[in-house]
Amino acid sequence: MRGTVVRGTVMRGTGTRWRIAGVAILVLLLPVLGCGTRTGSVSGTVTFKGAPLSGGSVTFHGENGKLDSAAIGPDGKYTMAQAPLGPVKAAVVTVKPSAPPTLPGGKETPKKESKTEPVGRFVPIPPKYHEPQTAGLHYTITSGDQTIDIKLEP
């Protein structure tokens, strides 16, 4: 008789069960082991008319629907930790700071710090750069660290 003997009882087919269980576990772990969505780290400088853009944001839109955004610092630099891999289209937006609301009697409301408040001086850019379909900014992101400088023209 073939099989495993446990306390005088012959167990048949235990090897097959372990193989099936092993395959099932491997299939369940496959996405976790590296078949999921991967990203790259991108940094660079955004310029408009040859000068660093002093605020706003950059967004990379991947073909797979994944996207990531980064704030543009006062020196024109941005860093994006999880940019989608492969071909991407980029969009750049600058936001004009709004005037603080006023209270009755003409007094300004107390200023609160906000993480979404624009950084740097507002520089208007052509509206075509606001949308990835019209901006004309196409790049290829690879895994690992890379530099992509974005040059905007009027």
Q: What is the pLDDT of residue 32?
A: 45
Q: In what order do the strands lie in the sheet with 137-141?
A: 67-71, 57-62, 86-93, 137-141
Per-residue pLDDT of the chain (154 residues; tens, 9 = 90+): 555 555 655 555 556 655 555 555 554 544 444 445 578 999 999 999 999 998 999 999 999 899 999 999 999 999 999 999 999 999 999 977 666 666 676 666 555 554 444 455 788 999 999 999 999 999 999 999 999 999 999 9
pLDDT in the model for residue 138: 97
CATH topology of domain 38-97+117-152: Immunoglobulin-like (2.60.40)
Could you give phi then psi for residue 85, rounded to 5 degrees? Answer: -75, 155
CA dihedral (33, 34, 37, 40) positive or negative: positive
SS3 of 6, please? Answer: strand
In this prediction the pTM is 0.64
pLDDT of residue 111: 55
